[in-house]
Amino acid sequence: MATVTIKDVQTILTQPEGSRLIIVKIVTSQPGLYGLGCATFTQRFHAVHAAIEKHLKPFLLGRDVSLIEEIWQMAMVNGYWRNGPVLNNAISGADQALWDIKGKQADMPLYQLLGGKCREAAAVYGHADGRDEHEVEDSARKYMAQGYRYIRIQMGGYGGQAEKLVKPEGAQPGAYFDPKAYMRDMLRMMEHVRTKIGDEIELLHDIHERLQTIDAVQFAKDVERFKLFFLEDPLAPEDLEWFHHIRQQCSTPIAMGELFNSPREWQPLIAEKLIDFLRMHVSQMGGVTPARNVAAFANMYGIRTAWHGPGDTSPVGHAANLHLDLWAPNFGIQEWCRFSERVYEIFPGTPEVRNGYMYPNDKPGLGIDVNEELAAKYPCTDEVIGWTQTRLPDGSPTRP
């Protein structure tokens, strides 16, 4: 059999909705055979685009597409410095595309290459939000009417309402929030929602690393009575040692990882059983190859997967998540952002959700394609992002 090699590496940039999406297309020496991968880092898409076109593409051209593991390992060290979001996303796009190609060559969905399905579909959760607890309840009930049994509840976004803050004179503009008010408001909201909708619906909440470490410990204790399915990102990657304090003081299940880039961030949390769900962004960590490895590693410690799945994971990335979900024996839950019909038109084969479950289409590889002509009608726009310019009441910059 003739060796199939990488003939071209193309980058597709599109913004059909709010997020700037980056798709890597690997074209092979076999006519008609190509693969797609997600490299979406929406806040720094130009940097990822340059990394793909100027660094990764020259490295990949002419290589044997069958050598996925070898290519991944060499790509990670080829730049000498490693484990950063820009290069990780670039490598992830290529890695997912190569897995897509391998599935097409084998005429099998990716989950078959990983070892076959452990389940027929992946349970998902949606995002319920509102300006007050009553609106959050109404939003949650709309999800329940659609068959969702897992619902993330937020109120006023991640940091809560900020209209009543007293700021210093001359305070800089930004996305202000009051951590203490957030804690009080969220506890009131959770109590209301849990009381109104009962115990049969699983509730989730995302702190988004916005609390001081000791406040995060207190908050995790305070929400214990609401029996959350998980509390997400109570701490920042810089504060991993504080997970010991959370674990010692409460039984609230903890999900962590969407900001992780390096194995040194997730390895100790898994090995010491300090978290319950892995939340890594699959393109941020480098693709299907490391996600497969860390899922198998976490399975030995009874820790489940809950891959990051917001609107700034492209449909190609969601397809990759789904194949990992179907295969992983330690699957927990999948975040789902609910794409518009426009996105389904641009990306035929985008996973579909019915009655709270995400289903594959059983096509070879990732099972998804891209209409490049239609994608080009929605070019990416530049902006100085506002929501990550987060500030405390006195104007101090803080983590978003």
**Residue 379 placed within a domain:** no
Does a structural domain hold residue 35?
Answer: no
Is residue 103 assigned to a domain? no
Q: Crossing angle for the helix pair 68-78 and 85-106, nearest 10 degrees?
A: 170
pLDDT digits (tens, 9 = 90+) for 218-255: 999 999 999 999 999 999 999 999 999 999 999 999 99
Of the candidates 111, 143, 150, 158, the residue annotated as catalytic is: 158
**Is residue 308 among the annotated active site residues?**
no
Write out the two tokens for 127: 């995002």
The CATH number that applies at residue 187 is: 3.20.20.120
Q: Which amino acid does the sequence have at 356?
A: G
Q: What is the mean pLDDT of the chain?
A: 96
End-to-end CA distance of the chain: 52
Q: Cα 256 to chain center, whole Å?
A: 11
- Residues facing residue 13 across a β-bridge: 22
Give the pTM.
0.96
Predicted confidence band of residue 163 (pLDDT cuts 50, 70, 90): low
Instruction: Supply the range of the domain harboring residue 148.
Output: 113-364
Inter-axis angle of helices 213-222 and 179-197, nearest 10: 20
SS (H, E, C) 199-259: CCCEEEEECCCCCCHHHHHHHHHHHHHHCCCEEECCCCHHHHHHHHHHHHHCCCCEEECCC
The verdict on residue 383 lying in a domain is no
Across residues 279-302, what is the average pLDDT?
A: 98
Number of domain units in the chain: 1
* Residue 230 within any structural domain of the chain: yes
Among residues 49, 127, 205, 208, the one annotated as catalytic is 208
Is residue 11 within 8 A of residue 22, CB to CB? The reply is: yes
Confidence of residue 349 (pLDDT cuts 50, 70, 90): very high
Residue 51 lies in a domain: no
**DSSP secondary structure string for all residues of 163-208:** TT--PPTTPPPSEE--HHHHHHHHHHHHHHHHHHH-SSSEEEEE-T
Q: Does some domain include residue 24?
A: no
Please answer whether residues 50 and 110 qualify as being in contact, where contact means their C-beta atoms are separated by less than 8 angstroms: no
| 268 within 8 A of 274, measured Cβ to Cβ | yes
Reference 142, options 133, 156, 129; nearest CA is 129
Instruction: State phi, psi for 117 to the nearest 5 degrees.
Output: -80, 140
The verdict on whether 208 is a catalytic residue reads yes
Cα distances (angstroms) measured from residue 212 to each of 162, 234, 266, 267: 18, 9, 21, 23
**Which pLDDT does position 165 carry in this prediction?**
86
Question: Does 129 fall in a domain?
Answer: yes
**pLDDT value for 159:** 74
Reported as a single tens digit per residue, the pLDDT across 187-206 is: 999 999 999 999 999 999 99
